[in-house]
């Protein structure tokens, strides 16, 4: 009956795809031993390959070594390939901080993923069950988690599968007795100095006795509902990404006006999603971090930034929002070197991939002057006022510019600040110059020099066209 229940759960959630490699995490306790026994029985039926991995945390001395030997002997008796890893969790905590529970979990999963890579892209199966799920919901609730935390564990999360999440602890103990399995007993599971053990042995019994005898079912139901809602929210965010986010070399750029129009729940999920994509996970990113980023993005100020766990930051620059790494890459250092100026073909087209634009130059002789206002992407200059050839370059330190209608020259840097061009985009603004100086900050301002006279008939028109896939 229990075997059929687990098999139905596995097939319903497609946890063990035919032909896949499965690494079962086995401590030797009831949950993990039942897991290995069940998966071993499913091998031929489901067409999967099974491997077993044990991780020795170095916390219980000889007892830990005997656990490892027990699992090894069990696997040998079943003809299962066995892997064993170890670490000194206490020393790791002393060196790098963290709780014993957190560090032990991190090291354990690092080893399991190592084994999964050794055997060839395997899924990792764990023995988590419904009582574990209920305890996780309570722990996350006390900690102040949102919907994602209260959604707790799912049947499958990326490379982790949980075939026993349909069973209670009592059902697993019954299965072990029926199969005459003799699991090891880890006495540290009774130590209430560990948070999960306090929840298991103190909080859960109290709530069952005083509030709800069916507490486990209620909490697991809550987890299922919230997980489904979070899945919908995540799907919605992924659908909206092309409208909201631009991938940059160091991270992501968002438009603050678009971001501010989103529902607060979508804002939070979007930020967590982007942080997860950049960092590989959201470990260490708390609710407070997400709220700080939201406040940063929504406040009506110029350039502001906050640091995030690891080498990451959130930054607002005028109308744009950035989530990015703070590391300086070799490629970035190389690209910061100014490229050689490019001579502008006139007449003709000059493609400028480093700026993401093409400049088209046309010559006119003996014709009436064009309209005064050609918009931001076109400018007209009287030929006699320019020194040919014209060329295109990046801004340079000390650049000055006399824009049309201004009383005199001023620093180009000040103009770009007044135009609210983010600092990371200023090097990709094409600067069109001749032998006497800047004549056009392309797409933004033209120079006073080269203004068409009332009877001028010989002139050029330069047009800026954005290349495809340019943001």
Where a domain ends, among 312, 330, 348? 330
Which residue, chain included where needed, has tokens 């990113």?
285
Same domain, 280 and 395: no
Q: Rounded to an integer, what distance in angstroms lies between the CA atom of residue 59 and that of residue 63? A: 9
Write out the chain's pLDDT in tens, 471 residues: 888 898 899 899 889 888 888 999 998 889 999 999 999 988 888 888 999 999 888 777 778 788 888 889 989 998 999 898 888 888 888 887 777 888 888 888 888 888 888 888 788 999 999 998 888 888 888 877 777 777 778 888 888 899 999 999 999 999 999 898 888 887 777 777 778 888 888 888 998 889 889 998 898 888 888 888 888 888 888 888 888 888 877 788 887 778 888 899 988 898 888 888 877 777 767 788 888 888 877 776 555 777 777 777 888 776 778 888 876 543 333 344 455 788 888 888 888 887 888 999 988 887 777 776 778 889 988 888 888 889 899 888 888 999 888 888 888 888 888 887 877 678 888 999 988 889 999 989 999 888 887 676 788 899 998 876 444
Would strands 123-125 and 160-161 be described as parallel, antiparallel, or unpaired? Answer: parallel
> What's 392's DSSP letter?
E
Per-position DSSP letters for 312-341, written without gaps between them? EEEEEETTEEEEEE-PPPHHHHHHTSPPPP
What is the count of structural domains for the chain?
Answer: 3
Name which of 192, 141, 200, 138 is nearest 169 in CA terms.
200
Same domain, 218 and 287: no
Same domain, 180 and 276: no
Residue 231 lies in a domain: no
Q: Rounded to an integer, what distance in angstroms lies between the CA atom of residue 115 and that of residue 110? A: 9
Same domain, 156 and 277: no
In 262-401, which ranges are continuous DSSP H helix?
264-279, 287-298, 330-335
Same domain, 325 and 345: no
Q: Rounded to an integer, what distance in angstroms lies between the CA atom of residue 72 and that of residue 66? A: 10
Where a domain ends, among 273, 303, 330? 330
Give residue 264's domain range.
248-330
- What angle separates helix 169-178 from helix 30-46, to the nearest 10 degrees? 70
Q: Rounded to an integer, what distance in angstroms lies between the CA atom of residue 76 and that of residue 80? A: 6
Same domain, 60 and 207: yes
CB environment 150-180: b (16+ within 10 A), e (fewer): bbbbbbbeeebbbbbbbbbbebbbebbeeee
């Amino acid at each position: 009956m229990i075997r059929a229940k687990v098999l139905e759960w596995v097939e319903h959630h497609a946890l063990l795809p035919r032909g896949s490699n499965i690494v079962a995490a086995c401590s030797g306790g009831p949950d993990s031993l039942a897991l290995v026994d069940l998966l071993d029985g499913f091998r031929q039926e489901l067409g999967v390959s099974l491997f077993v991995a044990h991780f020795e945390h170095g916390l219980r001395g000889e007892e830990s070594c005997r656990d490892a030997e027990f699992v090894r002997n069990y696997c040998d008796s079943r003809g299962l390939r066995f892997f064993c890893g170890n670490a000194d969790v206490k020393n790791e905590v002393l060196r790098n901080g963290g709780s014993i529970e957190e560090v032990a979990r991190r090291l354990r999963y690092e080893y399991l993923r190592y084994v999964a890579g050794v055997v060839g892209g395997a899924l990792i199966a764990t023995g988590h069950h419904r009582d574990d799920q209920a305890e996780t919901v309570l722990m996350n609730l006390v900690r102040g988690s949102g919907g994602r935390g209260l959604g707790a564990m799912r049947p499958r999360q990326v490379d982790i599968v949980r075939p026993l999440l349909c069973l209670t602890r009592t059902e697993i103990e019954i299965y072990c007795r029926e199969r005459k399995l003799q699991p090891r007993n880890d006495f540290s599971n009774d130590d209430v100095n560990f948070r999960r053990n306090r929840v298991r042995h103190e909080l859960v019994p109290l709530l069952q006795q005083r509030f709800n005898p069916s507490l486990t079912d209620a909490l697991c139901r809550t987890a299922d509902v919230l997980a489904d809602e979070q899945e919908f929210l995540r799907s919605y965010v992924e659908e909206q990404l092309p409208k909201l986010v631009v991938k940059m070399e160091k991270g992501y750029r968002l438009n603050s006006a678009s971001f501010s129009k989103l529902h607060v729940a979508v804002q939070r999920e979007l930020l967590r999603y982007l942080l997860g994509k950049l960092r590989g996970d959201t470990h260490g990113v708390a609710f407070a971090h997400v709220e700080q980023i939201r406040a940063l993005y929504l406040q009506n100020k110029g350039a502001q930034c906050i640091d995030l766990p690891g080498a990451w930051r959130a930054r607002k620059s005028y109308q744009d929002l950035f989530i990015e790494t703070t590391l300086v890459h070799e490629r970035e250092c190389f690209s910061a070197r100014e490229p050689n100026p490019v001579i502008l073909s006139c007449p003709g087209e000059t493609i400028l991939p480093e700026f993401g634009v093409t400049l088209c130059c046309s010559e006119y002789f003996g014709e009436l002057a064009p309209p005064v206002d050609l918009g931001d992407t076109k400018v007209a200059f009287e030929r006699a006022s320019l020194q040919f050839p014209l060329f295109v370059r990046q801004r340079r330190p000390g650049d000055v510019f006399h824009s049309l209608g201004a009383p005199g020259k001023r620093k180009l840097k000040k103009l770009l600040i007044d135009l609210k061009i983010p600092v990371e985009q200023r090097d990709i603004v094409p600067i069109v110059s001749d032998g006497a100086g800047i004549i056009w900050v392309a797409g933004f301002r033209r120079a006073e020099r080269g203004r068409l006279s009332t009877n001028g008939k010989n002139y050029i028109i330069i047009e800026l066209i954005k290349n495809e896939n340019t943001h």
